[in-house]
Amino acid sequence: MLRKLSTGIKNNESETLKIIFNSCKYLGSIKIWCGESFFVNWTNRVPQKSLSLVIVICDEENSLDKNNENIEIINKYTKLSIIKKFEVTDFDDDEYVLILALYQTYRGNNNESDYDDEN
């Protein structure tokens, strides 16, 4: 049974998320790149489980946690008990170095400018 997953998901890949959620009923942890629609979908998931949300800082100036809209979304879903733990870390955290490498492989290159089109 898959309980943890780390992956990159683009905004137009909601069908991929549906397949993951429908196929992985025991999934308790997922690390992805996505927007609020993910949390909306998660609220309707059965069985209902809270998430741990970790933001890995790629670019200090443009970090997701620096955006007020992102923080409002995080606060909203924390109050709804969808997010049980929120953490911000950087690439000095060894656990997330592999996630970045996998994400960059998924994206097809290591060009930092690719991150700009996601924000």
pLDDT tens digits, 44-87: 777 778 888 877 776 666 667 777 887 888 889 899 888 888 88
Instruction: Identify the residue with better confidence: 99 or 30.
Output: 30
**Could you tell me which residues come within 8 angstroms of residue 45 by beta carbon, excluding any fewer than 6 positions away?**
21
Q: Identify residue 67 by its one-letter amino acid code.
A: N
Q: Letter for the amino acid at 76?
A: K
H helices within 44-85, ranges in order?
Answer: 68-79
Phi, psi of 96 (to 5 degrees): -95, -5
The rounded distance, in Å, linking the Cα atoms of 73 and 39 is 9
Contact status, residue 42 vs residue 81, Cβ threshold 8 Å:
no
The answer, as to whether pTM is greater than 0.75, is no
